[in-house]
Amino acid sequence: MQHVGSRIKDLVRGSNYSVKEISEKLEISTPNVYRLFERESVETKYLIKLSELFNISIAYFFPNSNVLSSNSELDELKKQISELAEKLDFLKRENQMLTELRLNCEEKLSQKIDQYKFLDKFFEVVKQGNYGKSNQNTQKGILEFGLQLVRNGEVGAYRFVTKVSKDPELLRLFNHVFNGEEPPMSV
């Protein structure tokens, strides 16, 4: 493992600076720069000056510290954070849209469930043949359901009602409601 002095030595040798220029920047003599190369610990003020001179993090001198060793690494991380923030914003908007879509689908499903409950009631009334005896709210609900099916594009509903029941009383009620009229009260 390299000590601080040898990392300074590598840094200076890999640069375009002479040892004399480094000594001027550190405000020490040239022989003292060479002494720094041999030291296992170096005063913080020199490390700060070197990191500023070479535009690197002071962590460069401490390789086991798991700290970024250059500004380019920091810039790359900032870029990655920015990209991830954009992705997060996109995912938040997508999540909001999907939530709205889910709520819309749940609402439509709830409406369909209500419609099928009415349809079940309708089948029961038609099957028993006692729609003339059922209360007016039940009859009106069944007829409104048939209309709702037709209005929702289920055009087979009208044909279904007219074919399931050959009973003129039920057909008359359905036609009244289908044509926007109130069903006769004496059902």
141 — pLDDT class (breaks 50, 70, 90): low
Between 13 and 148, residue with greater pLDDT: 13
Q: What is the CA radius of gyration of the chain?
A: 42
Mean pLDDT across the stretch 16-29? 93
What pLDDT shows up at residue 187?
A: 41
Q: Return the C-alpha torsion angle 100, 106, 108, 111, nearest 10.
A: -140
Query: Residue holding tokens 């209005």?
Result: 151
* pTM for this entry: 0.36
C-alpha 53/C-alpha 25 separation (Å) is 8
Lowest mean pLDDT among 85-94, 138-147, 158-167: 158-167
Q: What residue segments make up the domains of the chain, in order of their start?
A: 4-69, 103-178
Mean pLDDT across the stretch 108-134? 66
For 4-69, CATH number out of 3.40.50.2300, 3.30.70.920, 1.10.260.40, 3.20.20.100 equals 1.10.260.40
C-alpha 125/C-alpha 106 separation (Å) is 28
2 — pLDDT class (breaks 50, 70, 90): confident
How does pLDDT run across 66-99, given as a tens digit for each residue? 554 556 677 788 889 999 999 999 999 999 999 9
Task: With CA atoms as reference, report the closest residue to 159 among 141, 143, 146.
Answer: 146
Between 150 and 85, residue with greater pLDDT: 85
Tell me the percentage of the chain whose pLDDT exceeds 70: 56
What pLDDT shows up at residue 132?
A: 54
What pLDDT shows up at residue 61?
A: 82
Lowest mean pLDDT among 3-12, 24-33, 56-65, 176-185: 176-185
